[in-house]
A and B are shown apart, each in its own frame.
Chain A
Amino acid sequence: MTFFATSSDRPRQDSGHGVKTVDYTSNVLQLFIEGLDAHPTAQVLDLGPVCQENIRFFARRVKRLYVCDMFIRLERCLGKGDPVDRIWHELDYPPESFDGILIWELADRLDDGEVRALVKLCYTLLKPGGMAVVLVLGEQAARLGVNSFVIGQDFKVRLRSQYHLHLPIRSRQNRDILAMMTPLKPAKSFICRPGFMEFLFIRDR
Chain B
Amino acid sequence: MLKKSKQVDTGNKSSIIQTPVEGKTIIGEQIIIDGTIRGKEDLLIEGSVKGRIEVERHHLTVGSKGQVEAEIQAANVTISGRLVGNINAAEKVKITKDADFNGEITAKSISVEDGAYLKAVIELKREPHKKPVSVVKPEEKSASEPVKEPFTLAGKSSKGN
* A interface residue numbers (CB < 8 A to B): 2-6, 27, 30-31, 34-35, 38-41, 43, 48-52, 55-56, 59-60, 63-69, 72, 90, 93-94, 96-99, 127-129, 131, 148, 160, 162, 164, 187-190, 200, 202
Contact = CB atoms under 8 A, between A and B. Distances in A.
Interface string B50-63: 00000000000000
Interface class of chain A by DSSP: mixed
B151 A38 contact: yes
B89 to A, nearest CB: 13
Contacts, number: 121
Contact of A6 (B115, B149, B156): B156
A35 B112 contact: no
Interface string B124-161: 10000001011010110100011011110110111111
Interface secondary structure of B, over-half rule: loop
A31 B153 contact: yes
Nearest to B131: A40
Given A41-B136, A50-B118, A131-B151, 14 more contacts: A2-B160, A5-B158, A50-B116, A51-B114, A59-B110, A60-B124, A65-B123, A67-B119, A69-B119, A90-B119, A98-B138, A128-B148, A187-B153, A188-B153
B1 interface: no
B76 to A, nearest CB: 16
23 contacts: A2-B160, A3-B160, A4-B159, A6-B159, A27-B156, A30-B156, A34-B154, A35-B151, A35-B153, A38-B148, A38-B149, A41-B146, A48-B118, A63-B123, A63-B134, A64-B121, A64-B136, A67-B121, A94-B141, A129-B150, A148-B114, A160-B114, A189-B161
